[in-house]
Amino acid sequence: MGKAKLPVNGSSEYYEIRLESIGGLGANLCGKMLGELGVKYLGLNSSSFSSYGSEKTGTPVKGFIRYCDKDREIRVHSPVISPNLLVVFHQALLKDESVLAGCGENTEIIVGLDGGVNEISGQIPGGIKACYVINAQQIAMETHSRINVVMLGAMAKVMGFMELEDVNQICGDTLGKKYPDALQGNLEGIRRGYEEIKELTGSVSEFAKGTAEKAPGRETASGWGYATAPEGGINPRFGSSVVSDLSPSRQGYIPLFIKERCINCGLCDSTCPDMVFQFVPGKYKDKEMMVNKGLDYYHCKGCLRCVEVCPVNALVRGLEAEHPHKEYFLPNKDLVRTPDYYLKTGADGYVTSESYLTEKRMGGGEV
Ligand code: SF4
Ligand code: SF4
């Protein structure tokens, strides 16, 4: 077991990592592996924990890892506010400004791409140390692994104080016994992550949206102290809630509503953890009752539990795209907010898809 030399300056005790991810991409396991790796193979002290919302799939996930020398104790157990390394598992998360909170001149950022690099133009804060990108989704698919191991390989390369062999070891320890058939693909995913990570060269400013001092969310996150913390110490930025824009958590799928099939049973509403469905007093088959008017996609994280539970296929899985039936995209009237609150959700709120159209045709509808 070697002793890794941490790239921290004299005044800083810890090397801190924050993972920003979506439930289902494996960030929680990735954080655990990093924590174990520090202790088992790097001769360091380490800690690791994650935070996520009401349901795992699709919900925003944050992972926090700290390393320090063996002769120090880790006495901080709070979330990482100003990371040395910020790892964004999916580029869609950059739409959420809190993801970039606390980035400064010592921060390196890794972004997992799903589209072209130009799509993140204007979304990276200026004044950071460096920004790297990796086609994590594509590599994971090609190697039959998962995004988390690709990101693990990429992180090892950027951090520079762990060898590829160390990462392979921890992957073998974690997955080898449980999923021996999947080990080879995961090791390949790690290798490709390590080798294919690319720095955004030239100037990060081409991709920048502001200076480090103006990085979104920085003021709020780093400004909290005993005098300025929210009342009762409540965290107002927890993963999944009616006040959160959950659209960045979606992985390209969304529930589509076929109103004419709906029997207003309410199962979707009691299953959905995020207050997406808008029921209002109305009439169904001449009876007065609460009727389903549609969805507020602002809160929808795309877990598709409602699709599973709907007994009459009035909800079907669809790809995010332009929706022909905008009348079923309904802002939640119970929440008080200004009209532009919805603009951030973007076109993702409106959807159509071949699966939706097929469903409509099967149902005898004209499309
Ligand atoms: S579960 Fe299906 S049928 Fe029941 S209210 Fe929801 S959409 Fe309508
Ligand atoms: S509306 Fe459906 S897909 Fe969206 S969060 Fe609720 S249960 Fe999940």
| 264 CB near ligand 1 (under 6 Å) | yes
Single residue among 233, 264, 296 that ends a domain in this structure? 233
> Helices 27-41 & 164-171, crossing angle to 10 degrees?
120
Strands (E) in 24-172, as ranges, are: 44-52, 60-69, 85-88, 108-112, 130-134
Higher pLDDT, 223 or 99: 99
AA identity, residue 248:
P
- What pLDDT band is residue 323 in, cutting at 50, 70 and 90? low
CATH number at residue 258: 3.30.70.20
Co-location of 67 and 171 in the same domain: yes
Cα 353 to averaged position of ligand 1 atoms, centre (Å) = 20
Choose the most confident range, by mean pLDDT, from 3-17, 121-135, 145-159, 239-253. 145-159
Instruction: Note the ligand closest to the C-alpha atom of 332.
Output: 2
| 84 CB near ligand 1 (under 6 Å) | no
pLDDT of amino acid 220: 42
Determine the atom of ligand 1 nearest the C-alpha atom of 269: 6
Tell me: pLDDT of 202 over 70: no
Q: What is the pLDDT of residues 275-321, one digit of tens each?
A: 788 888 999 999 999 999 888 887 788 889 999 999 999 999 887 76
pLDDT of amino acid 348: 37
Cα 293 to averaged position of ligand 1 atoms, centre (Å) = 10
Within-domain flag for 203: yes
Co-location of 228 and 275 in the same domain: no
89-103, 170-184, 274-288, 335-349: which range is least confident on average?
335-349
Tell me: pLDDT of 108 over 90: yes
Mean confidence (pLDDT) of the chain: 79
pLDDT average, residue stretch 333-361: 43
Q: What is the pLDDT of residues 356-366, one digit of tens each?
A: 455 555 555 44
pLDDT of amino acid 334: 54
Instruction: Note the ligand closest to the C-alpha atom of 276.
Output: 2
Least Cα distance to 301 among 79, 92, 78 occurs for 92
85-88 and 108-112 strand pairing: parallel
pLDDT of amino acid 312: 96
Instruction: Note the ligand closest to the C-alpha atom of 273.
Output: 2
44-52 and 15-22 strand pairing: unpaired
pLDDT of amino acid 224: 62
Co-location of 260 and 331 in the same domain: yes
pLDDT of amino acid 204: 52
Cα 263 to averaged position of ligand 2 atoms, centre (Å) = 18
Q: What is the pLDDT of residues 113-129, one digit of tens each?
A: 877 777 787 888 888 99
Find out whether 278 and 292 touch, Cβ atoms under 8 Å: yes
AA identity, residue 310:
C
CATH number at residue 76: 3.40.920.10
The residue assigned the tokens 């130009």 is 118
- Kindly report the pTM of this predicted structure: 0.66
The residue assigned the tokens 């941490």 is 6
| Length of the chain, in residues | 367
Rounded Cα distance between 307 and 290, Å, is 20
Co-location of 99 and 202 in the same domain: yes
Single residue among 233, 259, 285 that ends a domain in this structure? 233
Co-location of 273 and 345 in the same domain: yes
pLDDT of amino acid 237: 56
| 310 CB near ligand 1 (under 6 Å) | yes
| Residues ≥6 apart with Cβ < 8 Å to 171 | 33, 149, 152, 183, 186, 187, 190
Least Cα distance to 13 among 74, 82, 102, 104 occurs for 74
- For every residue of 262-330, DSSP letters joined together read -----HHHHH-TT--EEEEEEEETTEEEEEEEEE-TTS-----HHHHH-TTS-EEEEESS--S-GGGB-
What value does the CA radius of gyration of the chain take, rounded to a whole number of Å?
22
Least Cα distance to 59 among 267, 273, 254 occurs for 273
Residue 337's Cβ-count burial label (10 Å; 0-12, 13-18, 19+) is exposed
Higher pLDDT, 244 or 145: 145
The residue nearest atom 6 of ligand 1, judged by CA position, is: 268
pLDDT of amino acid 32: 95
Tell me: pLDDT of 215 over 70: no
Q: What is the pLDDT of residues 1-34, one digit of tens each?
A: 556 678 775 556 899 999 998 877 889 999 999 9
Cα 253 to averaged position of ligand 2 atoms, centre (Å) = 10
Co-location of 84 and 165 in the same domain: yes
pLDDT of amino acid 75: 85
Best probe residue, ligand 1, of 256, 258, 268 (max atoms within 8 Å of C-beta)? 268
The residue assigned the tokens 């919805």 is 342
**Per-position b or e across 41-66, b if 16+ CB within 10 A of its CB:** bbebbbbbbbebbebeebbbbbbbbb
Co-location of 220 and 328 in the same domain: no
pLDDT of amino acid 116: 73
Task: Tell me what percent of the residues of the chain surpass a pLDDT of 70.
Answer: 71
Find out whether 111 and 131 touch, Cβ atoms under 8 Å: yes
Neighbours of 336 (CB within 10 A): 6
Rounded Cα distance between 46 and 40, Å, is 10
Single residue among 184, 199, 233 that ends a domain in this structure? 233
Within-domain flag for 239: no
If one counts the domains in the chain, the total is 2
39-53, 226-240, 261-275: which range is least confident on average?
226-240
Ligand 2 contacts (CB < 6 A) are 255, 271-272, 274, 276, 295, 300-306
Determine the atom of ligand 2 nearest the C-alpha atom of 302: 3
Co-location of 206 and 259 in the same domain: no
185 torsion bin: left (phi>0), alpha (psi -120 to 50), beta (else): alpha
43-52, 93-102, 182-191: which range is least confident on average?
93-102
Query: In which domain, by residue range, is 265 found?
Result: 247-362
Co-location of 94 and 218 in the same domain: yes
Co-location of 215 and 258 in the same domain: no
| 267 CB near ligand 1 (under 6 Å) | yes
Co-location of 103 and 191 in the same domain: yes
pLDDT of amino acid 216: 39
Rounded Cα distance between 118 and 107, Å, is 21
Q: Pull the structure tokens for residue 42.
A: 């790097």
